[in-house]
Structure 1
Amino acid sequence: MLTPKFAHVKQSFHVELKKRINEYFATTGKSTTGGIRLFSKALFLILALTYTYIQLVFFTPGVWVALGLCVVMGLLVASIGFNVMHDGGHGSFSRSTAVNKMAAVTAEVLGASHFMWNMKHNVIHHAYTNIDGIDDDIDAKPFLRMASTQEYLKMHRFQHVYFVALYAIFHLYWVLFSDYKKYFSGKIGDMPIKKMKTADHITFWGFKLLHYALFFIIPIVVLGFTTWIIGFSVVTVVTGFTLSIVFQLAHTVEHTEFPVPAEDGRLQDEWAIHQLKTTANFATRNKLISWFVGGLNFQVEHHLFPKISHIHYPAINKIVKQACQEYDVVYVEYPKMYHAVASHVAFLKQMGKQ
Structure 2
Amino acid sequence: MATPKFIAPANSFYSELKRRTNAYFEEIGTHPTGNYKLYTKAAVLLSSMVLLYTHLVFFTPPVWLALIECIVMGGVTAAIGFNVMHDGGHGSFSKKKWVNELAGLSLNMLGANIHMWTTKHNIIHHTYTNIDGVDDDLDARPFLRLCENQEHLKIHRYQHYYFWGAYSMLYIYWIFFTDYVKYFTQKVGDIPIKKMSTKEHLSFWGFKVLHFMLFVVLPIYTVGFLPWLIGFLVYGMFTGLVLSIVFQLAHTVEHAHFPMPAQPSNKIEDEWALHQLKTTANFATKNKIVSWLTGGLNFQIEHHLFPRISHVHYPEISKIIKEACAEFGVAYNEFPKTRTAILSHIAHLRQLALQPVLLQR
Name the structure 1 match of 2:217. 217
Q: Which residues of 2 match residues 292-311 of structure 1 at below 5 A?
A: 292-311=293-312
1:324 matches 2:347: no
C-alpha deviation, 1:192, in angstroms: 1.1
C-alpha deviation, 1:168, in angstroms: 0.6
C-alpha deviation, 1:61, in angstroms: 1.3
Q: Amino acid of the residue matched to residue 121 of structure 2?
A: H
Aligned Cα root-mean-square deviation (Å):
0.6
Name the structure 1 match of 2:358. none
Name the structure 2 match of 1:45. 45
C-alpha deviation, 1:31, in angstroms: 1.0
Q: SS of the counterpart of 1:9?
A: coil
Distance 1:217 1:182 in 2: 25
Q: Amino acid of the residue matched to residue 348 of structure 1?
A: L
1:252 matches 2:252: yes
1:315 matches 2:322: no
C-alpha deviation, 1:330, in angstroms: 1.1
Q: Amino acid of the residue matched to residue 196 of structure 2?
A: M
Name the structure 2 match of 1:352. 353
C-alpha deviation, 1:249, in angstroms: 0.3
TM-score of the superposed pair, with normalisation by structure 1: 0.99
Distance 1:258 1:308 in 2: 25
Q: SS of the counterpart of 2:267?
A: coil
Gaps of 5+ in 2: 356-361
Distance 2:5 2:235 in 1: 41
Q: Amino acid of the residue matched to residue 111 of structure 1?
A: G
C-alpha deviation, 1:335, in angstroms: 0.2
C-alpha deviation, 1:10, in angstroms: 2.4
C-alpha deviation, 1:337, in angstroms: 0.3
Distance 1:125 1:295 in 2: 17
C-alpha deviation, 1:340, in angstroms: 0.4
Distance 1:250 1:275 in 2: 11
Q: Amino acid of the residue matched to residue 323 of structure 2?
A: Q
Q: SS of the counterpart of 2:129?
A: coil
C-alpha deviation, 1:244, in angstroms: 0.4
Name the structure 2 match of 1:19. 19
The total of aligned residue pairs comes to 354
Distance 2:207 2:63 in 1: 30
Superposed CA deviations along residues 42-94 of structure 1, whole A, max 9, x for unmatched, are: 01100010000000000111111111111110000000000000000000000
C-alpha deviation, 1:351, in angstroms: 1.0
Superposed CA deviations along residues 11-67 of structure 1, whole A, max 9, x for unmatched, are: 200000000000000000011011111111001100010000000000111111111
Name the structure 2 match of 1:337. 338
Q: Which residues of 2 match residues 93-132 of structure 1 at below 5 A?
A: 93-132=93-132
Structure 1 segments, 4+ long, off by >3 Å, are none
Name the structure 2 match of 1:195. 195
Name the structure 1 match of 2:81. 81
Identity of aligned residues (%): 57
Q: Amino acid of the residue matched to residue 310 of structure 1?
A: H
Name the structure 1 match of 2:359. none
Distance 2:40 2:205 in 1: 30
Distance 1:61 1:260 in 2: 52
1:269 matches 2:275: no
Name the structure 2 match of 1:291. 292
Distance 2:227 2:81 in 1: 26
Distance 1:288 1:311 in 2: 13
Distance 1:148 1:167 in 2: 19
Distance 2:348 2:52 in 1: 37
Q: SS of the counterpart of 2:251?
A: coil
Superposed CA deviations along residues 252-305 of structure 1, whole A, max 9, x for unmatched, are: 001100011011211100000000000000000000000000000000000000
Q: Amino acid of the residue matched to residue 130 of structure 1?
A: N
Q: Amino acid of the residue matched to residue 44 of structure 1?
A: V
Q: SS of the counterpart of 1:249?
A: helix
C-alpha deviation, 1:194, in angstroms: 1.1
Q: SS of the counterpart of 1:250?
A: helix
Name the structure 1 match of 2:92. 92
Q: Which residues of 2 match residues 28-39 of structure 1 at below 5 A?
A: 28-39=28-39
Gaps of 5+ in 1: none
Name the structure 2 match of 1:208. 208
1:159 matches 2:156: no
Name the structure 2 match of 1:59. 59
Name the structure 2 match of 1:170. 170
Superposed CA deviations along residues 98-128 of structure 1, whole A, max 9, x for unmatched, are: 0000000000010111000000000000000
Deviates more, 1:140-149 or 1:244-253: 140-149
C-alpha deviation, 1:147, in angstroms: 1.2
